[in-house]
Amino acid sequence: MTEKQKSFMKMAIDLSRSGMNEGKGGPFGCVIVKDEKVIGIGSNSVLATNDPTAHAEVVAIRDACKNLGHFQLDGCEVYTSCEPCPMCLGAIYWARPSKVFYANNKVDAAKAGFDDQFIYEEIELENQNRRIPFQELMRNEAKAVFEEWIEKENKTLY
């Protein structure tokens, strides 16, 4: 771990503390770096914005992508004060950075009352057996749009 990498993680941890103290949300911060420069930052802002998806990583990904003017984070590194939850893990995979560094791990998060394990277990269950039931509806109608997408020319794949 280089001094530079440690300084980016320190920035993420500082964001986790300042966001918490400002009442923005839980104690999570994230910094996104490209070519050793910070291109996006985020603090968990769930409470301030009434947005359950405003986790630090999602906020930072949105900031970085806006600044880059692109929907992917090729060649970027993510420094997050806590191992990503399943939602952020998904967002990170869609954004495709090259590496993720985390400080607190998911056991630390669970001890602080942020239980990601529950969501990982739900993913494994059959749709109808989940705490929040998922039910298929109007598949054929929606599938028709997928067929149109498959046939569409000049589309941008992501």
What positions carry a catalytic annotation?
A: 57
- Vertex 152, ends 147 and 158: CA angle to 5°? 95
Taking CB under 6 A as the rule, which mask of x and - marks residues 6-35 in contact with ligand GUN?
Answer: --------------------x-x-------
The answer to whether 104 touches 50, Cβ cutoff 8 Å, is no
135's enclosing H/E stretch is none
Task: Give the binding range for ligand GUN (CB under 6 A) out of 2-10, 64-72, 77-85, 138-146.
Answer: 77-85
Helix (H, G, I), strand (E, B) or coil at 39: strand
Q: How far is the CB of 64 from ligand GUN (least distance, A)?
A: 15
Binding residue (CB under 6 A) for ligand GUN from 56, 60, 64, 76: 56
Question: Which secondary structure element, helix H or strand E, spans residue 115, and what is its range?
Answer: none
Contacting residue, 13, 31, 33, 57, with ligand GUN by CB under 6 A: 57
Q: Which residue is nearest to ligand GUN (CB)?
A: 55
Site for ligand GUN in 80-109 (CB under 6 A): 80, 82, 84-85, 88, 109
Cβ 135 to ligand GUN, closest distance in Å? 27
What is residue 82's three-state secondary structure? strand
Compute how many other C-beta atoms are within 10 angstroms of the C-beta atom of residue 10: 15
The reply to whether 79 sits near ligand GUN by the rule CB under 6 A is: no
DSSP symbol at 69: T
SS3 155: coil
Backbone angles phi, psi at 105, to 5 degrees: -105, 180
Instruction: Kindly list the residues in this chain that would bind ligand GUN in the complex (CB under 6 A).
Output: 26, 28, 44, 55-57, 80, 82, 84-85, 88, 109, 114
